[in-house]
Structure 1
Amino acid sequence: MASEVTTRTADRTKTRLEPWQAGTVGGIAGAIVFSAMMAMQTPGVLEGAIPALYGLEGGFAGMVLHVAHGAVLGVVFAALLVATDRRSSGIATGGALGLGYGIVVWAVLAVVVMPIWLSTVGFPMAPAVPNVAIESLVGHAAYGLVLGVAYALLE
């Protein structure tokens, strides 16, 4: 009995990344965009709250941690797409899926998890739960959109 094996190949004009790699790169790109928005709109979050999650201080630590979070969440996005067989769905669909994912990340992590975590580590300006902030919603939506488009282009 013969079986068919499909392999991925790379040529000079179209090099595709593995899903986890595309998710990592897309997550980093989205987090950089979101971090730039945060630096302009809510610098205290980037300089104080995000590094405080890990007992650190300062904008550089906040930027590095935020981009690292974006990379990890990008891999989770890729895993969800692979698990639901939505891997190569086109730029528009990738953008829409990323946008939805960014909003879900906001609703779970920024609105609920982050304020609880900040309270737990004793951050003096920990927001109340739920922490609903429009700037955060817009930033997470931008993160997701960039992630989804980058993923679709790279995977």
Structure 2
Amino acid sequence: MSETATQTETGTDARLAEWQAGVIGGVLGGVVMAVLYSAFQPSFLTDAVPGIYGLDGAGGIVGWTLHVSHAAVLGVVFAFAFDAVEGAEWRLPNTTAVSVVLALTVWAFAALLVDQVGIWNTGVAPAPASFDVTLLGFVTHLAYGLVVGVTAALLR
């Protein structure tokens, strides 16, 4: 009589889908950015972000919520952009490089166009001053990119 052994894999190496890793990385990166803005330029979250949506005077909770929501969406954009890179593997150096480039591109676009239009429309600050055309804006977006890239690599 012959016996056949079957091997069953029961590992717990569950990985998230790309977009899920992007959302979580985006939220964590957005929180890091919001903490930095709250510490060094709170008016960005209390006035400028809500003001872009016509919610003048809504305050910090609204600003935080909107900012972290944007960050989550951009985390998904990162996941799709990363998947579009031919042959890219979800490893730490790769995800971090792509997420930092994307974050700094968003910073340049937001600082030079979106913030300007939003601020001019809301009167939060005198034009052409922008809350984000600063070293702080650069640093916060760089931090966002690093957090997204590291998180995505760890979750994938």
With normalisation by structure 2, the TM-score equals 0.84
**Pair 1:128 & 2:128 matched:** yes
Q: Note closer, same or farther for the CA distance 1:86–1:17 as it changes in structure 2 (3 Å cut).
A: farther
**Pair 1:48 & 2:47 matched:** yes
* Partner of residue 3, structure 2: none
* Partner of residue 93, structure 2: 92
Counterparts of 1:6-155 in structure 2, within 5 Å, are: 12-56=11-55, 57-85=58-86, 88-120=89-121, 122-128=122-128, 132-155=133-156
After alignment, is 82-91 or 145-154 more displaced?
82-91
Q: Note closer, same or farther for the CA distance 1:97–1:126 as it changes in structure 2 (3 Å cut).
A: farther
For the Cα contact (< 8 Å) 2:96–2:145, is it kept in 1?
A: yes
Structure 1: stretches of 5+ with no match in the other structure: 1-10
C-alpha distance in structure 2 between counterparts of 1:118 and 1:86, whole Å: 40
Q: Note closer, same or farther for the CA distance 1:23–1:126 as it changes in structure 2 (3 Å cut).
A: farther
* Partner of residue 5, structure 2: none
How far did residue 126 of structure 1 move? 4.8
* Partner of residue 3, structure 1: none
For the Cα contact (< 8 Å) 1:50–1:66, is it kept in 2?
A: yes
For the Cα contact (< 8 Å) 2:82–2:95, is it kept in 1?
A: no
Instruction: Figure out how many residues of one structure are paired with residues of the other and give that number.
Output: 145
Amino acid at match of 1:46: L
Amino acid at match of 2:113: V
Q: List per-residue Cα deviations over 1:48-68 (Å, max 9, x = no partner).
A: 000111122200000000000
Structure 2: stretches of 5+ with no match in the other structure: 1-9
RMSD: 2.0
With normalisation by structure 1, the TM-score equals 0.85
C-alpha distance in structure 2 between counterparts of 1:139 and 1:127, whole Å: 22
C-alpha distance in structure 1 between counterparts of 2:87 and 2:75, whole Å: 15
How far did residue 152 of structure 1 move? 1.3
